[in-house]
Amino acid sequence: MPDTSPLAVCVGEGLVSLVPATAAPLEDARTFHRSLAGAEWNTAIALASAGIRTAVISRVGDDGFGRFLTAELRRHEVDASAVEIDGEAPTGLYVKELSPRPDGSVDGTMHYYRAGSAAAAMSPATLASPPASALLSEAVLVHTSGITPALSDSARAAQDALFAERRDGRLLSFDVNWRPALWRGREDHGRTVIADYARRADVVFCTRPDADAVFGTDDPDRLRALFPEPRYLVVTSPDGATAFDGAERTDSTALDVPVVESIGAGDAFAAGFLAGILTGLSLTGSLARAHRIATRALASTRDHVD
């Protein structure tokens, strides 16, 4: 029988991440491990790991990296039926450079090779394809981020279409994910675009550094005053998080666990919080679930939970 449990759909860019086997400058790195990356794809995998039926809408190239990414989605039980295959544009990728820290963890610096990628060619037509349209008509949650509109004009048009087609009973989740390199030379425009999406979303995630860079403050109460429209507003930092459900405010502390590398932890955190909402947990319970899932991303140099 078909699965009729609530469906979450993540819309955004998938990337291949090449991670050095050892922490060293790239010129000294000889061996790399291949992994799936991309904010919305990381969130999709973490949602699926939390027991939420999940699908991705995106585009990849007709190449080995694209086939690897879609196979990884299926391995993690994420529906890849609406991931389009582009016969001309390649799958985007990035190389992670790891630098050791005195506490035993590593810092990751990303070097992106995504210009002209298949994902950058996302457009309203991507959402209108029969597989994507069927998923969106069923979804109780759609999650996307501030990365998508920065990729290209057509990708922004796709995100605009998502926000324009609001439906009763469907939550729209938006993670700020400020990437200044993608908005270079048009940073003020990017801030305006992201603020507009945040005001129209039902759930908004933002790190304190991103909030300060985009909105001019990282104070949770001031951010809530700036953005009263979304039902849920979640402001995160390495030490914990503050979440609002309407006027209700709850603060939480991050779990004390060993950290290997932090990239991707925010995507896992968002997935945990969304899974909490979808399964009827309280604000406190949703935050607790978010922290638990985030710890799984902190435990490796991969961007997603496994």
Tokens of 111: 């070097």
DSSP 8-state class, residue 91: P
Catalytic residue among 86, 210, 267, 303: 267
Q: Is a pLDDT exceeding 90 seen at residue 109?
A: no
DSSP 8-state class, residue 256: -
Q: Is a pLDDT exceeding 90 seen at residue 218?
A: yes
Q: Is a pLDDT exceeding 80 seen at residue 233?
A: yes
Please answer whether residues 282 and 273 qualify as being in contact, where contact means their C-beta atoms are separated by less than 8 angstroms: no
Q: Is a pLDDT exceeding 50 seen at residue 261?
A: no
Residue-wise pLDDT tens digits, 48-104? 999 999 999 999 999 999 999 999 999 999 999 999 999 999 999 989 888 887 776
Q: Strand, coil or helix: what is 281?
A: coil
Q: Please state the rounded mean pLDDT for residues 197-213.
A: 96
Residue 293 pLDDT level (bands cut at 50, 70, 90): confident
Q: Is a pLDDT exceeding 90 seen at residue 294?
A: no
63 labelled catalytic: no
Instruction: Say how far apart CA 55 and CA 154 lie, in whole Å.
Output: 21
- pTM to 2 decimals? 0.91
Higher pLDDT, 158 or 268: 158
CB atoms within 10 A of CB 8: 27
User: Could you give the domains of the chain?
Assistant: 7-298 (3.40.1190.20)
Higher pLDDT, 255 or 228: 228
Q: Is a pLDDT exceeding 70 seen at residue 298?
A: no
Residues 6+ apart with CB under 8 A from 97: 20, 25, 26, 29, 108, 109, 110, 111
pLDDT at 2: 58
How high is the mean pLDDT of the chain?
A: 90
